[in-house]
Amino acid sequence: MTAQPDLRPAVTRGAPPGHEATPVGDLPLEVVSVQAKVFGGFWSTVRDIWSYRELLGQLVRKELKVKYKDSVLGFMWTLLRPLLQLLVYSVAIGYFLGNGKAIPDFGVYLFTGLVSWTLFGEIIGGCTGCIVGNAGLIGKVYFPRELFPLAVVGAAIVNFVLQLSVLLIAYVFTWSWPQPSNLPLVPLALLALVVFALALGFVLAASNVYLRDMQYLVEVGLLLWFWMTPIVYDWTKVRDHLAASHKLLFDIYLANPMANVVLAFQRSLWPQAVTPKGRPFYYGGDLYGRLGILIAVCLVLLWGAQRIFARAQGNFAQEL
Q: Is residue 69 part of a domain?
A: yes
Pairing of strands 12-13, 22-23: antiparallel
Write out pLDDT tens, residues 249-291.
888 999 999 999 999 998 888 887 665 444 556 677 889 999 9
| Separation between Cα atoms, residue 152 and residue 108, nearest integer Å | 27
Q: Is residue 45 part of a domain?
A: no
**What average pLDDT does the segment 16-33 reach?**
48
Q: Is residue 21 part of a domain?
A: no
Residue 293 or 232, more confident: 293
**What average pLDDT does the segment 2-12 reach?**
47
Band of the pLDDT at 203, cuts 50, 70, 90?
very high
Q: Distances in Å between the alpha carbon of 113 and those of 9, 148, 208? A: 72, 27, 28
Q: Is residue 40 part of a domain?
A: no
**What's the pLDDT at 65?**
81
Q: Is residue 300 part of a domain?
A: yes
Domain residue limits at 275 = 54-319
Which of 74-83, 109-118, 143-152, 209-218 comes out lowest in average pLDDT? 74-83
Q: Is residue 10 part of a domain?
A: no
Q: Is residue 34 part of a domain?
A: no
Q: Is residue 38 part of a domain?
A: no
Beta partners for residue 12, in sequence order:
23
Residue 15 predicted with pLDDT over 50 = no
Q: In the chain, how many domains are there?
A: 1
The chain-wide mean pLDDT, for the chain, equals 80
**What average pLDDT does the segment 103-113 reach?**
83
**What's the pLDDT at 31?**
40
Residue 98 predicted with pLDDT over 60 = yes
Residue 24 predicted with pLDDT over 50 = no
Band of the pLDDT at 72, cuts 50, 70, 90?
low
Write out pLDDT tens, residues 281-304.
667 788 999 999 999 999 999 999
**What's the pLDDT at 207?**
92
| Separation between Cα atoms, residue 299 and residue 161, nearest integer Å | 23
